[in-house]
Structures are given as C-alpha cells and as structure tokens.
Amino acid sequence: MRRRFSIGLAIALATALMAAPTANAAPDDGEVVVADRASGSISVIDLATQSLVQTIALPDDGEPMYVVSSRSGDRVYVGDRANDQVVVFDSSDWSVVGTVPTGAGVFHMWADPAGKQLWVNNDVDLTSTVIDLKTSEVLATVPIPADLVADGYKPHDVTLSTNGRSAFVSLVGGEDHDWVVRYDTRTFTEKARAAVARDPHVSVTNRALYVPAQDGDVVHVLDLKTLETIEALDVPGAHGAFMGPNKIFYTTNLPGGGVDGLWAIDTKTNTVLGSVDTAYAVPHNVVTTPNNLVFVTHSGGESDKVTIFSVSKDAPVPVAVGEVTVGLNPFGLAYVP
C-alpha cells in the first residue's frame, strides 16, 4: 500500500546515530564531523557554537566519503576511497592513529549500536569489508550475491540492525529496480532479499527497515526479517537516510533543487509529517544531535555548505537556523560525542 503524506503529529527529537553520548554529557557537547570529498579533508563543527573549528587533511591525498563515530566518541572512522582504506582518527586531537585496508571503491559504511562491527561497502570490488572495531582488524570480506553481480549490481548503502545481528546492504545498477539484501553478521551469509525502486538507501528501527529510493519517489518500509513490504510512502526524490530518536526518520529530496529538501516521517504510524525547503540544492546526508539540531550536507563538486535545522515537540517540521561553510563536496557526516 502506498500512502500519500499528511501533515500532523508532534516529533520529540533528542539524540542521534549509533554513537550515543555518555550519561553526563551536556546536550551541546560534541562535534559534527563532515567528509569533504573533493577537498580530501574532514571538517569539525562544534555543536555548542555551530561553527567550524578545525579542518584535517586525510593522509596520502585521501578521498573521504563517509564518517562513523565509535560509541564513546574517542575514535572516528573515515572511509578513504582513493586509498582503499578506513582512516582512524583520535578525536581528542584529530591525529591519525591507524588505517584499516578495505576493498576497492569505498562508499557507504555503518557500525552496529554496540560498536562491534563496522561494515564498509566497496563498489569496485563488489564486496563489503567487515571490521572488528575492538581490534581494528578485518573480520570478513563479504561478496554480494553472484547472481546479482551477473546482472550488473554493486553495493551502495549499508546499515545494521539495532541488535547487531543483521546487516542490510542496498545494491544499485538495475534498469528497472534495485535490491536490498539482509546478511547474518555472525555467518556473513545472505538471509533475505527484496526488490525495491532504484537508488535505494537504508535505515532501521527495532521493527522495520526504511528504504528511501530516489528514482521511485518512495520510502519503502520493509519487515526486518523477511524484507516483505509493510508500507510504501510517497516522498519526492527520497535519498538520504537517518533514523533519529523517538522513531523519527529523516530523508532528503536530493534532486529537488532545495524545494521540499528535508522530510520527517513518524515511524510509529508511518505518517509523513512534512517537509522544509533547504537553502541550497542537493541536500544529501543527514544527522541529528542531542541539542535538537539536524545537519544536512549539500553535495557537488563546488558545494561547500552544511545547513542546520532545529526541531522540537511543538515544531514537528524542521526549521532552518543556520549554515556552516566546510570543504568542497561535503558528503557523509556523523555526530561525535
């Protein structure tokens, strides 16, 4: 069933991502770290002042793609497409403390909430590299299904279930549709797959997988175990995927030129709450923070903007409150406590 959006229901938005702050952390503590793909750097935005405080170049002329924080925030992992590796930073001084080899074509990556595994998709090698976050060693290299390789598909986005037992990988490259595949994170074997609209990304709640698919103008809602369809929600250009607290899902309208650029969905009722325009085109990736802010990267070769929105119980649709100039082609981003 496909449901048209309706405006309504309040959002209670607070914390973010798999890297939860410590119990004593103030809401303004921490940073948002942005991968500047075209500049070869990461930009560090102070959460309290919402300003750029540091820019750090990747080693070896790296090409940063996506950013993941450790659960405690002491380590920050940056995918480096140019050098087929993940670069590990110490967030106390932003020094490089190590690198982990991956396959060729590093793209999306994600870690489980417990901080045990980091999955990195490699769209040239057609694999996912699984990294043990305690040891920074490669646990496994997981190939995408051979029949989908034969049909021209490659891995793109990835997320892990809240219990860490399943990894969900989106596969792109189809003429009529793309795929989502569920893997067991203990055996690294395929457990289910589902055909979805083209250009899918992935995010999870405890009960469902949310799959914004840009070319289908839809967010698929799938059963976590079987990947059978629960709902299909109409959202134009649905691309970026971030599951905020209180079961609120955020997605971006990447091709819309900034019109209706950021959408909020209540996953308790699968109701699309509404949208807000973004000041710049190509709203791409999203993250929320403990002080009720939403950060959005605007990608493109000459782009250098991250926009900031506020949310509250009384304002269910995000409201623009600022922007930060970062490096060129801001791509992935993460909250670091």
Two tokens, residue 179: 């795929």
The predicted structure's pLDDT at residue 25: 54
Tell me, what's the pLDDT at 124?
A: 99
Instruction: Write the CB contacts of 174 (distance below 8 Å, at least 6 apart in sequence).
Output: 151, 152, 153, 198
Are the CB atoms for 296 and 288 separated by under 8 Å? no
Q: Is 280 helix (H, G, I), strand (E, B) or coil?
A: coil
Rounded Cα distance between 103 and 126, Å, is 8
* Alpha-carbon separation of residue 90 from 41, 99, 229 (angstroms): 15, 12, 41
How, if at all, do strands 117-122 and 127-132 pair? antiparallel
Whole-model pTM over 0.75? yes
pLDDT at 317: 84
* 194 close to 180: Cβ distance less than 8 angstroms: yes
The domain segmentation of the chain, as residue ranges, is: 2-336
C-alpha to C-alpha distance for 49 and 318, rounded to whole angstroms: 19
Q: Return the CATH class of domain 2-336.
A: mainly beta
Burial class (CB in 10 A: 0-12, 13-18, 19+), 302: exposed
The residues pairing with 32 across neighbouring beta strands, listed in sequence order, are 45, 335
DSSP state letters, 176-197: S-EEEEEEETTT--EEEEEEE-
pLDDT value of position 79: 99
Tell me how long the chain is: 337
Which is it for the CA torsion 143, 144, 149, 155, positive or negative?
Answer: negative
pLDDT digits (tens), the chain, 337 positions: 444 433 333 333 333 333 333 344 567 889 999 999 999 999 999 999 999 999 999 999 999 999 999 999 999 999 999 999 999 999 999 999 999 999 999 999 999 999 999 999 999 999 999 999 999 999 999 999 999 999 999 999 999 999 999 999 999 999 999 999 999 999 999 999 999 999 999 999 999 999 999 999 999 999 999 999 999 999 999 999 998 877 889 999 999 999 999 999 999 999 999 999 999 999 999 999 989 899 999 999 999 999 999 987 677 689 999 999 999 999 999 999 9
